Amino acid sequence: MFIKQEYYLWKLTYDLVVAQDFQVLNLNTERGEIWLEKEHEWQTHVIRLTHKQMNWRNELRRDLEKTYRQLTQNKKLFRGGKVKLHSFYISEYPPVEEWEDVTEHISSSKLPVHVYYLDDENKKENLVPFYDLFQMEVPIVDFEVGETEIEAMLPYLKHQIVKQQQEQRKRVMSIFDYGKPRVTYFLLAINILIFLYIEWVGESTSVLTLIEYGAKYNPAIIDGEWWRIATSMFLHIGVLHLFMNMFALFYLGTAVEKLYGTWRFVFIYMLSGLFGGVASFMLNPHVAAGASGAIFGLFGALLFFGVQYKQLFFRTMGWNLIFIVCLNIAFGLLVPQVDNGAHIGGMIGGFLATAIVRMPKQKKPQMQIIALVTYGIALSSMFTIGHFGWMNGEQTLSQVQETQELNQQGAYEEVIEKTSEALESPGQYEAPLLFNRSFAYMQKGELGAAEADLLHVVELNSEMAEAHYNLAILYQEKKEKEKATEHAARAAELNPEESDFQKLYNELRQ
């Protein structure tokens, strides 16, 4: 009888939703059609239940094709993993014709379809494979219940399922509104105020100013100023750098702080920044600053959320977030100035830091301890590698940048002192260091020392036009016109577009 099939439909749905925690996608009480879903072993299982009598094979096939189209049209809701469709038909009698292979031309490897025809003789038997798949016990449904009792129970069953659906929605909404983004706004204010202060006392694009106020400067870190790993998170190089990072912090920070709460957010942000800073120390010889490592750590936190709530992740931010991460990494690989070490390191650090604290109301002590140990080992290993320069033999590059700017400021004594110290272990930057020192010697009038350095430079790199030009000026001052002309000609040949080189050469030829 129809009412008994309806009773079985809602009794089965009640068990799946209330007892087994399947998620309700759609309820249509008038048509007696219910759509559920559940993630199991990295697959999304979509369940459609209906009670209708299918007398003929073709009738069943048409209904399945319609169901299949409905799901494929909405498949974007289930992106991020393999989807399986389970279609249940609850009926008093089975179809007249053979129906078991009805899915043969409907099912595909991308979207497998399984049919369960639950007629009165085989309701429990045909339900067993589905329940075994999820390692659940098949519910016992009493069919001896009278119609009057069924009519009284149906509204209760429907009400409980609707209530469970509403509670599921509330739980989902509560995930995104766990915390309030107070610290995000505080960090925005701190970063902007520090930037304004740096601009007031100097220039945020000045290497010397950045080093003075705590930028990541590898030689100083090696000498024990490890705190630069943390302070560099709050410095920015120019207005555009500040704007891009604060724009990202505003959107990512508010999302992560709402998801994880304030203290978890602070923990993730700081540990991401430290991890990214140490990765930069290990891989990047340049003077560096910025909140990028910590901000990429927020990407890591959102990716961890995606691992915990795969379907919810892909239905909300998933693919957009993955696209932005890939775009940023690709941009970093194409643009040499971008600190990829800090970015990728920050994202990995953010994922590990989030695994340590996990989502609110989630506790897995063993996994949290493993994440903490992994973070500690990785951080100490990167710091050791950076300290000994095993993956970055270019630590003197930052000293080249520093002494070049010191020359521009006229701090020649300091240039000579710093370059002489750096030349004890110059790596591949011996020529630029010697060039910077020779310039300082020339400005101090020590032409003999300058000449020795410049001759060494052109010996190391005969195509450095600037070294030949400076030698030409030096020999001009020493009244050695032939040597001056020779080096001026070489400078003009190497860089014909430089008007000063051509002008000096023309003067010396007269």
**Quick check: 458 and 421 in contact, CB under 8 A?**
no
As a whole number, mean pLDDT of residues 29-45 equals 84
pLDDT higher than threshold 70 for residue 333? no
Task: Indicate the residue type of 477.
Answer: E
Active-site residue identified among 272, 292, 398, 438: 292
pLDDT higher than threshold 90 for residue 351? yes
For residue 273, the model assigns a pLDDT of: 96
Task: Indicate the residue type of 207.
Answer: V
pTM equals 0.74
pLDDT digit string (tens) for 164-209? Answer: 888 888 887 888 888 899 999 999 999 999 999 999 998 998 888 9
For residue 331, the model assigns a pLDDT of: 67
Say how far apart CA 117 and CA 87 lie, in whole Å: 8
| 3-class secondary-structure state, position 288 | strand
Question: In this predicted structure, which of 133-142, 266-275, 409-418 has the lowest mean pLDDT?
Answer: 133-142
292 tagged catalytic: yes
pLDDT digit string (tens) for 162-176? Answer: 888 888 888 878 888
As a whole number, mean pLDDT of residues 423-436 equals 83
343 tagged catalytic: yes
Rounded (10°) CA dihedral 151, 155, 156, 161: 130
**Quick check: 113 and 143 in contact, CB under 8 A?**
no
Say how far apart CA 12 and CA 6 lie, in whole Å: 10
Strand-pair partners of 48? 35, 87
pLDDT higher than threshold 70 for residue 378? yes
Question: In this predicted structure, which of 122-131, 223-232, 348-357 has the lowest mean pLDDT?
Answer: 122-131
pLDDT higher than threshold 60 for residue 500? yes
As a whole number, mean pLDDT of residues 301-326 equals 81
Better-scored residue on pLDDT, 408 or 326: 408
Question: In this predicted structure, which of 6-20, 385-399, 421-435 has the lowest mean pLDDT?
Answer: 385-399
Say how far apart CA 383 and CA 388 lie, in whole Å: 9
pLDDT digit string (tens) for 57-84? Answer: 888 888 888 888 888 776 666 555 678 8
For residue 507, the model assigns a pLDDT of: 83
pLDDT higher than threshold 70 for residue 241? yes
For residue 337, the model assigns a pLDDT of: 64
pLDDT higher than threshold 60 for residue 336? no
pLDDT higher than threshold 60 for residue 124? yes
Better-scored residue on pLDDT, 148 or 474: 474
pLDDT higher than threshold 80 for residue 142? no
Say how far apart CA 221 and CA 277 lie, in whole Å: 11
What's phi and psi for 174, nearest 5 deg?
Answer: -70, -25
Quick one: what percent of the chain has pLDDT higher than 90? 29
| 3-class secondary-structure state, position 140 | coil
Say how far apart CA 344 and CA 275 lie, in whole Å: 10
N- to C-terminal Cα separation, the chain: 115
Better-scored residue on pLDDT, 405 or 110: 405
Better-scored residue on pLDDT, 123 or 366: 366
Say how far apart CA 53 and CA 383 lie, in whole Å: 69
Name the band, by pLDDT with cuts 50, 70 and 90, for residue 28.
confident
| 3-class secondary-structure state, position 301 | helix
**Quick check: 404 and 418 in contact, CB under 8 A?**
no
Say how far apart CA 42 and CA 83 lie, in whole Å: 10
pLDDT higher than threshold 60 for residue 316? yes
Name the band, by pLDDT with cuts 50, 70 and 90, for residue 86.
very high
Angle at Cα 334 formed by Cα 199 and Cα 330, nearest 5°?
100
pLDDT higher than threshold 70 for residue 395? no
As a whole number, mean pLDDT of residues 414-428 equals 83
Looking at residue 216, what DSSP letter applies? B
pLDDT higher than threshold 80 for residue 446? yes
479: left (phi over 0), alpha (psi -120 to 50) or beta: left
Sheet holding 82-90, edge to edge: 23-28, 33-40, 43-51, 82-90, 113-118
pLDDT digit string (tens) for 248-278? Answer: 999 999 999 999 999 999 999 999 999 999 9
Closest alpha carbon to 458 in 469, 466, 467, 449? 467
- Residue whose token pair is 């069943």: 60
Name the band, by pLDDT with cuts 50, 70 and 90, for residue 393.
low
Active-site residue identified among 51, 86, 343, 468: 343
Say how far apart CA 429 and CA 265 lie, in whole Å: 41
For residue 366, the model assigns a pLDDT of: 94
For residue 345, the model assigns a pLDDT of: 94
Q: What share of residues in the chain are helix, strand, coil (percent, to 5)?
A: 65, 10, 25
Say how far apart CA 135 and CA 117 lie, in whole Å: 20
Beta-carbon contacts of residue 308 (< 8 Å; ≥ 6 apart): 359, 362
